[in-house]
Structure 1
């Protein structure tokens, strides 16, 4: 592209210079000769008038005086008495000189100039024009090189940026070139780089979230299946454990759907009015055997019959995450307390362990923050899930740790005019 720009600019400049230079050279050459002829005519008229004045006043007419007044000219004066007065150097033959003649009152004047002098002056003018043409061509080449570089370097950079985006390097370069059109393309590429970086980050985040969110129900499902294997000799227990495993599988499907909705940046839209006691009882039933193996127990206290607007699978996952967090990081008895405060249904989960370290209190819900060997995603995802349904998750006490889930009460939603669908018990 740079070569094409140089060739096209150089060609246009040459054509423009030639179209201007050739007529200018011709006009200058013609003008110099015309000026020389007009100068001879004026000088001949002046000499004739001067000679007549001297002749009439009977003053002497000498060649020295004429030569001094008109240097570089060859003057021949024929007086009325047939005498001849000459001044200046005799030029070459008549074909190589310019001549003008004047006659009046019996006086005849011839003024001649060497044509070579006029030709030399015309040649100097043509050489000056040629030098200007060469200078113009040089300046044009320099400007063409500069302009070609100014246009091609940004395009090369933009091509490299696009290639980097295609290879997965989504860092914006934020480089501008002073050309509005090219700068606009650069801005579009930078915005695309930011969007691609966001998409890549969201994909990595989704993969991490999915792996973490699926781990808990899969663990519970595996334990249920182990119980089924151990209780194969007891049909009733097998049916009970099979139903529990099926519930875990359904919950796993709901979690996958929620994660896919988050990956699409959508709200689940599945929040309904559900009985909090049923979800709490379900989770206690699932997690009680696990805590009993560690010599711990789970107790439920507080008010009964509370109804909150929440995604059923989401609340189950949040409570499961908090119970898993208490199992790994806590100690002693775990208490689930349900209560109603200021229009919010609250589910508190606490234990008797050492609690949250002081340096983690303010960032316990941040992504990738953990006090142990965990991934640091559990509490972050739990808060994200409850926020989708218009609730919030807070650490109400650090030591021993007590987490509170604040949910919207069904009565407040009815007062606001929202349509409720009472979820299955």
Structure 2
């Protein structure tokens, strides 16, 4: 947008300068030429009139009179030649060069010829043309500077408007942006605010539904769990006690599934992204998982090559990374590496190990809810994928063997001012993870 504005403004300035400057320079050069010719003609006529008047009065014209006319200030130095019956008189310096501009006036008693150097006239025309071209270049340069200044004033509000739209798209319910004073941009921003308000209403309704569903589902499951535990405690039949224990395990697993599904629902509608630095998050994950990897005789390493913050939901990124690390610990082999790098306008986080990875027939099903090859509920990876998509990111299995999981997230633009663009909030401290299935 900025380049286009600069190009359009520069072209307009160039056309205006050329349309006014070239005719102006041409007119100035032409006027100098015509003034030189007119000066020679007028001076010759004036001298001829004076000479004729002297002859009619019976007086002669001396060298002194011609020198006086030759010494008069004119546009160019002139040579005056007077031819009469008394002979030829000349005054003034002979024009340099072989080309001259001359004019001859003949009268009954004498002939007067005035000459000026054509090279002097051409030199003055060249100087005038050079001055005109310099003025054109200065005017064009001033126009380009104005174009750059105006393009900055126009492009900056558009950058902030794009950031506000990105906030709405990533779930921020109230974009933060000051009015620019440009009517069209302010109208678009006001419409974004209205859209964000409508989204906030829907999010509030969804949150209320999630809370009601959580209460309605947890209470019966808790009561059922208590009844089964009571049966298991009161019965003396080993078979009944064993079956009650199995039922209790199924209830607990069902409660865990309900909790995970409700977490997905809340994460899809939370809409409160912030700037999350990767350094503190990696350090927290190191402290949480390093001991477990050491106990398994394996190495866990973290590396942040991006050195930028990402736009994500508080806690979501920690849960996604922890899920991938836990899966690597449970199903992978060898060293596990967590590496973040810059990719275009975003950041990608690779979690890889040296194990056999995912079987080819399971690659397309690994992110499907309920799919599991290790006896779990099959909620961990689908939940992590949904959390990533809720924050505008993407979680993929980019390599099956050895396995490499790639998490792509939006980075905070370096050209923007976070204090004006990003929502106000403290640096996120990642809390301890909960148990995952």
| Bigger RCO of structures 1 and 2 (CA < 8 A, at least 6 apart) | 2
Report the TM-score, using the length of structure 1 for normalisation: 0.47
Q: Which has the larger radius of gyration?
A: 1
Report the TM-score, using the length of structure 2 for normalisation: 0.46
